[in-house]
Amino acid sequence: MPVTLSRRDAIWLGLSGLAASVLPGQVMAGSVNDLITGFAQGSVPVEDGITLSVPSEAPDGFWVPVEVRAAGASHLMLLALARRSPLVARAQFGPASGPARLATRIRLAESQQVMALARRPDGAVLQAVAFVHVLVAGCAG
């Protein structure tokens, strides 16, 4: 049985696909607990062996410097807990990468907690959390 597709249906199908590809964070966003559970793969995160460096007070939320260090980690994940799409960054490191380090700048619309998770090759998961007080919001509404 042949499938017929009108021009109008084809346009709507194309536009919905375009919207899904342009907004992957909104379409594929999960909750913080889902992201942590998926990253930890059954391990319970411990707060030892990972360093999260963020300013306690950010005068400008448009760019907040963040650095994560975790010796021996094979994966890093950075989350901003109050964002609609909390996942900020993921990184994977090979055996020849040296110490796992992720440094970036993130945009924060409000004061919130920033969380870093690191997974070691043996399955152990490390966690660090820091609060950032944002004086001027980095995102509109």
Look at residue 1 in the predicted model and tell me its pLDDT.
57
Provide the CATH number for the domain around residue 36.
Answer: 2.60.40.2470
For residue 141, tell me if it sits in a domain. Answer: no
Is the confidence at residue 137, as pLDDT, over 90?
no
Distance CA 51, CA 48 (A): 8
Look at residue 141 in the predicted model and tell me its pLDDT.
46
DSSP strand pairing (100-106 vs 57-58): unpaired
For residue 21, tell me if it sits in a domain. Answer: no
The radius of gyration computed from the CA coordinates of the chain, to the nearest angstrom, equals 19
For residue 9, tell me if it sits in a domain. Answer: no
What range defines the domain where residue 111 resides? 30-134
Q: List, for residues 40-54, the tens digit of each pLDDT value.
A: 988 888 888 899 999
Specify the DSSP element, H or E, that contains 92: strand 87-92
Look at residue 12 in the predicted model and tell me its pLDDT.
72
Is the confidence at residue 128, as pLDDT, over 70?
yes
Q: Is 123 left (phi over 0), alpha (psi -120 to 50) or beta?
A: left
Is the confidence at residue 65, as pLDDT, over 70?
yes
Specify the DSSP element, H or E, that contains 116: strand 112-119
- Sheet bearing 87-92, strands edge to edge: 57-58, 125-134, 112-119, 75-80, 87-92
For residue 34, tell me if it sits in a domain. Answer: yes
Give pTM, 2 decimals: 0.74
Distance CA 24, CA 28 (A): 6
Instruction: Please count the other Cβ atoms lying within 10 Å of the Cβ belonging to residue 5.
Output: 8
Two structure tokens written together for 136: 């001027």
Region 67-73: mean pLDDT is 93
